[in-house]
């Protein structure tokens, strides 16, 4: 990992990262949960747990269930809320030589705007990642991210509220990811990250009840990887801003697939639950791949897909 | 809450099927053994690849020297695969995790109330209390369906000194018939437990824990319960394993698995 000959650095939306490996929102808490396994300084970037204006308790348990090659979760975006996050969690995150990207969400456009404004002036925050997969309470609870016009409107308002690099995280639960991505780009996003989880459901046949208290949840893990990869590929055909790929990445081989189709960086999430050492193994594996291919830098891999 | 967990490869050195479908295993893992406390758990990878996908959280029933011990019951595909492991198998383990039991230095009586395989963390606790608290009065109340489950307690009998042992069975195949909680309550009610510096420690199915918590509250005896939950990460990151407490949720993996019974919300389960 310290081989100076290989350059894994990448700059996305003005965020300079040592390497393309980012830890995904919701998998890494506020940066401290994996302290005994991972040196945060080796990471390309840390994306925090999703933050809301007020603290959120999340959904009642059961919140998770194992599925074939994956898991379903309905955590319900439990978080400490904006002000406690800034006061209690940011001091820890500031210690590392790793960009901190704050994921945030709201239930109205006004929420997103308030969050973006407040987070912009906090020391140590390098960028923002807007989770637009949440229901818009004022529009009958339809997810912002499933409608191109709504996705565009919320992105435009956030854009005006912050000068920080703005990544918009897209939901895959749509028919045409390309047109949503395009409208978010046109509204001023600096980069896109995709995909969020796929909505799914598991039923207990003995009780005839859904296993999750929330009935449905978000599917993650290797089960969704080919679906996510296809969506990243389709999105890249429609946008010019950088795309960060995620969805079921467990190994260097998995991450390389996203880079080859054209993602400039990638996020790992669920992989950490199974293998906390995954960041080390993935970075070493990508270096080995570059060496084998005789590439001097990551840019030779990005978009190297042959059709 | 910081933990000192690490990854390790643990060698399976003993495997005994003590009752059909229930296994006692000893894993050689010196670093893990040195760090582990009673009430903590480990996250076991079933096999490489992605199916079964998640690790299984398993309570430690002992740790000492170079080894840790676990007890598990075959309940699904993951534990079925574990049951097929042969001696020498290298088990991919993360741990130890969780807070463990709190033992006050001036403890006089410890009443351990266990249900079935839930005895596992309490056996670890009983070993610690037996070896480090010479003058303690140790009472062990064990509930199970039938007499055969006594093999669970027997797996540790050479390492624990118990002052009173009561094995209550649902089918009456031991001296005491019924639910362990009823037998325990009648002893507490007679004033045989609860005087002096007493602590109740309990682990088992949630209806049992609910009754133990109620008894502890009624007789004002401090009580700690060890909870079980489906988990993904084990480190406190995913927030998947929460339990309801008065005024919100706590993570079983990182805030527990041992909780003071008075902080839990027993109304919804």
Shortest Cα–Cα distance, A237 to chain B (Å):
31
Q: How far apart are CA B25 and CA B205, in angstroms?
A: 22
Domain harbouring A238, CATH code = 3.20.20.70
Please report, for chain B, the start and end positions of each structural domain, with discontinuous segments joined by +: 6-97, 109-226
Q: How far apart are CA B41 and CA B99, in angstroms?
A: 9
Residue in chain A lying closest to B229 (CA): A62
**Confidence band of A135 (pLDDT split at 50, 70, 90):** confident
Q: How far apart are CA A95 and CA B44, in angstroms?
A: 32
Nearest to A245 by CA among A235, A156, A237: A235
Across the interface, do A221 and B229 touch by the CB < 8 Å criterion? no
Q: Is B56 on the interface with A (CB under 8 A)?
A: no
Question: Which residues of chain B lie closer than 8 angstroms to A277, CB-CB?
Answer: 7
* A35 CB-contact burial (10 Å; exposed 0-12 / middle 13-18 / buried 19+): middle
Q: Is A78 on the interface with B (CB under 8 A)?
A: yes
Using CB atoms, pick whichever of B4, B51, B235 lies closest to residue A68. Answer: B51
The tokens for A225 are 């990887």
pLDDT at site A200 = 96
pLDDT tens-digit map of B24-38: 999 999 999 999 999
pLDDT at site B155 = 86
Using CB atoms, pick whichever of A26, A274, A276 lies closest to residue B53. Answer: A274
CA quadruple B90, B92, B98, B99: dihedral sign = positive
Shortest Cα–Cα distance, A28 to chain B (Å):
5
Nearest to B228 by CA among B150, B154, B156, B120: B120
The secondary element (H helix, E strand) that includes residue B25 is strand B22-28
Answer whether residue A201 shows pLDDT above 50: yes
Residue spans of beta strands (DSSP E) within A107-264: 127-131, 135-136, 142-143, 166-169, 191-194, 198-201, 203-204, 209-210, 216-220, 243-246
Q: How far apart are CA A221 and CA A139, in angstroms?
A: 31
The tokens for B261 are 């019974």
pLDDT at site B153 = 87
Per-residue CA distances from A153 to A115, A119, A188, B176 (Å): 16, 20, 10, 69
Determine contact, residues A29/A272, Cβ cutoff 8 Å.
no
Using CB atoms, pick whichever of B4, B7, B236 lies closest to residue A276. Answer: B7
Q: How far apart are CA A292 and CA A269, in angstroms?
A: 27
Q: Is residue A255 part of a domain?
A: yes
Q: How far apart are CA A291 and CA A300, in angstroms?
A: 12
Across the interface, do B53 and A69 touch by the CB < 8 Å criterion? yes
**What value does the CA radius of gyration of chain B take, rounded to a whole number of Å?**
18
pLDDT at site B189 = 92
Across the interface, do B242 and A58 touch by the CB < 8 Å criterion? yes
Q: Give the pairing of strands A191-194 and A166-169.
A: parallel
Query: Chain A to chain B, count of Cβ pairs less than 8 Å apart?
Result: 99
pLDDT at site B1 = 47
Query: Degrees (nearest 5) of the Cα angle A135, A139, A143?
Result: 25
Q: Is A51 on the interface with B (CB under 8 A)?
A: no
Average pLDDT, rounded, for chain A:
95
Question: Which residues of chain A lie closer than 8 angstroms to B247, CB-CB?
Answer: none
Q: Is residue A186 part of a domain?
A: yes
Across the interface, do B229 and A68 touch by the CB < 8 Å criterion? no
Please identify every residue of A annotated as catalytic. Answer: 134
Answer whether residue A68 shows pLDDT above 50: yes
Q: How far apart are CA A100 and CA B62, in angstroms?
A: 41
Once rounded to an integer, what is the mean pLDDT over residues A102-129?
A: 97
Q: Is residue A160 part of a domain?
A: yes
pLDDT at site B2 = 58
pLDDT at site A1 = 47
Domain count, chain A: 1
Residue in chain B lying closest to A77 (CA): B239
CA dihedral of A211, A147, A220, B251, whole degrees rounded to 10 = -60
pLDDT tens-digit map of A232-261: 999 999 999 999 999 999 999 999 999 999
The answer to which of A58-67, A134-143, B153-162 has the lowest mean pLDDT is: A134-143
Q: Is A2 on the interface with B (CB under 8 A)?
A: no
Q: How far apart are CA B50 and CA B107, in angstroms?
A: 46
The domain of A137 spans 10-58+76-199+219-300
**Confidence band of A267 (pLDDT split at 50, 70, 90):** very high
**Cα A83 to chain centroid, rounded:** 22
ipTM score of complex: 0.93
pLDDT at site B267 = 83
Q: How far apart are CA B227 and CA A133, in angstroms?
A: 33
Q: How far apart are CA B225 and CA B208, in angstroms?
A: 10
What fold, for B6-97? Answer: Elongation Factor Tu (Ef-tu); domain 3 (2.40.30)
Residue in chain A lying closest to B97 (CA): A36
Across the interface, do A64 and B241 touch by the CB < 8 Å criterion? yes
Q: How far apart are CA A210 and CA B18, in angstroms?
A: 35
Q: Is A278 on the interface with B (CB under 8 A)?
A: no
Across the interface, do A36 and B6 touch by the CB < 8 Å criterion? yes
pLDDT in tens, chain B (269 residues): 457 889 999 999 999 999 999 999 999 999 999 999 999 999 999 999 999 999 999 999 999 999 999 999 999 999 999 999 999 999 999 999 999 999 999 999 999 999 999 999 999 999 999 999 988 999 999 999 998 998 888 888 888 999 999 999 999 998 899 999 999 999 999 988 877 799 999 999 999 999 999 999 999 999 999 999 999 999 999 999 999 998 899 999 999 999 999 999 998 65
Who's near A197: CB < 8 A, 6+ residues apart? Answer: A73, A172, A217, A218, A219, A220, A224
Who's near A245: CB < 8 A, 6+ residues apart? Answer: A193, A194, A228, A229, A232, A258, A259, A261, A263, A265, A266, A267
DSSP count for chain A of H helices, then E strands: 9, 18
CATH code assigned to B109-226: 3.40.50.80
Q: Give the pairing of strands B248-251 and A100-104.
A: unpaired
The alpha-helical segments, DSSP class H, found in chain B are 30-35, 77-83, 119-132, 150-154, 180-189, 206-218
Shortest Cα–Cα distance, B239 to chain A (Å):
7
Q: Which residues in chain B (234-263) have CB-CB distances under 8 A to chain A?
A: 234-244, 248-249, 254
Q: Is A277 on the interface with B (CB under 8 A)?
A: yes
Nearest to A274 by CA among B240, B257, B14, B66: B240
Shortest Cα–Cα distance, B189 to chain A (Å):
34
Q: Is B50 on the interface with A (CB under 8 A)?
A: yes
Shortest Cα–Cα distance, B180 to chain A (Å):
27
Q: Give the pairing of strands B109-115 and B137-144.
A: parallel
């Amino acid at each position: 990992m310290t081989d100076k000959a290989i350059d894994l650095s990448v700059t996305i939306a003005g965020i300079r990262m040592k390497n393309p490996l980012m830890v995904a929102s919701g998998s890494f808490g506020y940066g401290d949960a994996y302290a005994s396994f991972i040196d945060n300084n080796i990471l390309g970037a840390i994306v925090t747990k999703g933050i809301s204006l007020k603290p959120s308790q999340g959904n009642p348990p059961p919140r998770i269930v194992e599925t074939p090659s994956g898991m379903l979760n309905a955590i319900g975006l439990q978080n400490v809320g904006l002000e406690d996050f800034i006061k209690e969690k940011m001091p820890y995150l500031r210690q590392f030589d790793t960009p901190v990207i704050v994921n945030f969400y709201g239930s109205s456009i006004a929420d997103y705007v308030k969050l973006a404004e407040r987070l912009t002036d906090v020391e140590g925050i390098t960028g923002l990642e807007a989770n637009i997969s949440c229901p818009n309470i004022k529009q009958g609870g339809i997810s912002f991210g499933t409608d191109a016009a709504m996705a565009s409107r919320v992105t435009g308002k956030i854009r005006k509220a912050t000068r920080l690099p703005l990544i918009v995280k897209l939901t895959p639960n749509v028919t045409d990811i390309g047109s949503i991505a395009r409208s978010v780009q046109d509204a001023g996003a600096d980069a896109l990250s995709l995909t969020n989880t796929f909505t799914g459901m598991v039923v207990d046949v003995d009780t005839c009840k859904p296993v999750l208290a929330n009935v449905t949840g978000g599917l993650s893990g290797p089960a969704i990887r080919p679906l996510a990869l296809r969506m990243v590929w389709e999105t890249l055909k429609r946008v010019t801003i950088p795309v960060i790929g995620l969805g079921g990445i467990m190994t260097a081989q998995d991450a390389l697939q996203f880079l080859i189709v054209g993602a400039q960086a990638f996020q790992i999430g669920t992989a950490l639950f199974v293998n906390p050492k995954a960041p080390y193994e993935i970075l070493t594996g990508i270096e080995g791949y570059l060496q084998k291919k005789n590439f001097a830098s990551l840019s030779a891999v990005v978009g190297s897909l042959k059709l | 809450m910081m933990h000192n967990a690490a990854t390790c490869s643990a060698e399976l050195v003993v495997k005994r099927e003590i009752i059909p479908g229930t296994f006692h295993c000893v894993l050689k893992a010196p670093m893990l053994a040195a760090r582990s406390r009673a009430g903590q758990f480990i996250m076991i990878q079933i096999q490489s690849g992605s199916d079964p996908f998640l690790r299984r959280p398993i309570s430690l029933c002992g740790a000492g020297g170079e080894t840790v011990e676990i007890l598990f019951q075959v309940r699904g595909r993951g534990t079925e695969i574990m049951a097929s492991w042969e001696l020498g198998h290298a088990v991919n383990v993360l741990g130890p995790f969780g807070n463990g039991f709190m033992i006050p230095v001036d403890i006089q009586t410890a009443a351990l109330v266990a249900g079935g395989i839930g005895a596992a963390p309490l056996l670890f606790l009983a070993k610690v209390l037996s070896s480090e608290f010479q003058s303690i009065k140790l009472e062990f109340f064990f509930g199970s369906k039938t007499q055969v489950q006594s093999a669970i307690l027997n797996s540790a009998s050479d390492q624990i000194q118990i002052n009173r042992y009561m094995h209550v069975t649902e089918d009456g195949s031991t001296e005491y018939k019924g639910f362990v909680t009823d037998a325990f309550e009648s002893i507490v009610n007679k004033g045989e437990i609860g005087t002096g510096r007493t602590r109740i420690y309990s682990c088992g199915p949630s209806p049992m824990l609910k009754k133990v918590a109620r008894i502890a509250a009624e007789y004002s005896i401090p009580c700690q319960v060890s909870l079980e939950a489906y988990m993904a990460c084990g480190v406190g990151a995913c927030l998947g394993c929460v339990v309801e407490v008065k005024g919100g949720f706590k993570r079983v993996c990182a805030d527990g698995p041992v909780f003071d019974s008075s902080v839990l919300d027993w109304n919804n389960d």
